[in-house]
Amino acid sequence: MANESLSSQTPGASGTPQAPPLEKATRPGNYFVTNYPPYAFWKPEQVPVFEAALREPPRPDVWLGVYAHIPFCRKRCHFCYYKVYTDKDARQVWNYLEAMLQELARYARQPFVGGRKPKFVYFGGGTPSYLSEKQMRHLTDEMKRLLPWDEAEEVTFEAEPGTLTDHKLRTIREVGVTRLSLGIEHFDDHILEINGRAHRSREILRAYHYAREVGFPQINIDLIAGMVEETEERWRETVERALELKPDSLTVYQMEVPFNTTLYQRMKAEGKLVAPVADWETKRRWVDYAFRRFEEAGYTVTSTSTVVKDPERTRFVYRHQLFSGADILSVGVASFGHINGVHYQNHHEFDPYVRAIQEGRSPVYRALKPTREELCIRELMLLLKLGEVRRDYFVRKFGTDPVEAFAEPIRRLKATGHLVVEPDRLRLDRAGLLKVDELIREFFKPEHRGGKYA
């Protein structure tokens, strides 16, 4: 399954593979690789291919998961690039939840489900914890009626600290959530305010301690390295305060500035196209500092952005299954999923999404059926974000050794000194793991390079 298009890129004049140049400044645009082929190549004319995939029986031994997008927030963060709304009243929220349930009901009857039950469920946003207790119970009760959760190994629920009370946290646990992910981002009130976050530090501590009392099996906290006006001192203090909480896992993201953020719009209006955030080298160094501090406390690094207290007990099923090609039944505005080898995304605006459901039409806006080679590229790139890839896994699944199939890009990545090729695996060193999203673009086919990623 040789990737001729990638292999056509030749070494330098000396015959030695050339290491790819790396970005230094944080420029506007999407930086992190989350799928492949890139979303910009998913097209409305491919939607019939997705509809056909719904009518096919499930692929053998493929897990089914459910993603539910809750797009409501108290306030839009300046760096947020997700589809979120801060202007919807209670009636509109209820209408949206009913639309999601109608969408799920349509899919639950399709042959691709094939009697399977979800192995994982993920509530993302937006802010899922924006919902009232009554709304949460109605939504989850109806979801379980359509596709029971009794075989789910993980149910993740994203939450913003300022929306949480002890009663709401008990409700979140009672509906079956096993993994609570708190969007803390930072502990400094000035950083939170200037970056548009709705909560403040006192709400973080209150929500976290309530969550511990409720007894969630796993509590994850999110931080972002390199937000506007971040400093070395402030970052180190935030890491120390995160350590004091002793979370089950910590996710540290590096700040990017996609085009559809209010931060970029402000930059554009001011005529400045370079983001007022730290450069990539600084952000990587800050993430590495957080990793090292948590490792000193006994945690283990398990991906480009994650450390966990106990790798044997603490897993992130959704992420691993997303990376390895599971069927993900995604409902809600702008949400994207993957069914029987076909990518799809729903309409990206609120009213057209709800209206399509109410009128009995599909809300899917665009789709793409990747080739087998593209699915292999996708899985190789995403799994490298976990630090290593087993070669025999790809031989069993795709019938090819990635070292042979992608010989040229692998040679170029070895030239960076970050990728190590071993008899049984491909492995990234720590520095490579922190810049993996830039390195793995070497696997992109030529037609997918350049332009907007999303």
Specify the pTM.
0.93
| Tens-place pLDDT, residues 133-166 | 999 999 999 999 999 999 999 999 999 999 999 9
Would you state the structure tokens that stand for residue 101, as one six-digit string? 């349930």
332: alpha, beta or left? (left if phi > 0; alpha if psi -120 to 50): left
pLDDT at 26: 81
Report the C-alpha gap between 306 and 287 in whole angstroms. 10
| Tens-place pLDDT, residues 271-319 | 665 566 799 999 999 999 999 999 999 999 999 999 999 998 998 999 9
| Residue count (the chain) | 454
Q: What value does the mean pLDDT of the chain take?
A: 92
Reply yes or no on whether the pLDDT at 8 is more than 50: no
Peptide bond into 15 cis (omega under 30): no
Identify the burial level of 428 via C-beta atoms within 10 angstroms of its C-beta, where 0-12 means exposed, 13-18 middle and 19 or more buried: buried
- H-type alpha helices, 132-165: 133-146
Looking at the chain, the number of H-run helices and the number of E-run strands are: 18, 15
Is residue 443 a contact partner of residue 377, using CB atoms and an 8 Å limit?
A: yes
Reply yes or no on whether the pLDDT at 10 is more than 60: no
Report, as an integer, the average pLDDT of 402-430: 96
| Tens-place pLDDT, residues 154-200 | 999 999 999 999 999 999 999 999 999 999 999 999 999 999 999 99
Reply yes or no on whether the pLDDT at 264 is more than 90: no
pLDDT at 266: 80
Would you state the structure tokens that stand for residue 300, as one six-digit string? 């283990």
pLDDT band at 323 (very low <50, low <70, confident <90, very high): very high
**Which DSSP state fits 131?**
S
Reply yes or no on whether the pLDDT at 11 is more than 90: no
Closest CA to 117 of 67, 155, 56, 63: 63
Report, as an integer, the average pLDDT of 94-112: 97
State in Å, rounded, how far the first CA of the chain is from the last one: 27
* Interior angle at CA 430, CA 428 and CA 434, nearest 5: 95
Would you state the structure tokens that stand for residue 119, as one six-digit string? 């192995």
Report, as an integer, the average pLDDT of 421-427: 97
Report, as an integer, the average pLDDT of 17-28: 74
Reply yes or no on whether the pLDDT at 96 is more than 70: yes
Is residue 31 a contact partner of residue 430, using CB atoms and an 8 Å limit?
A: no
Helices 232-245 and 280-296 pack at an angle, to 10 degrees, of 30
**Which DSSP state fits 313?**
T
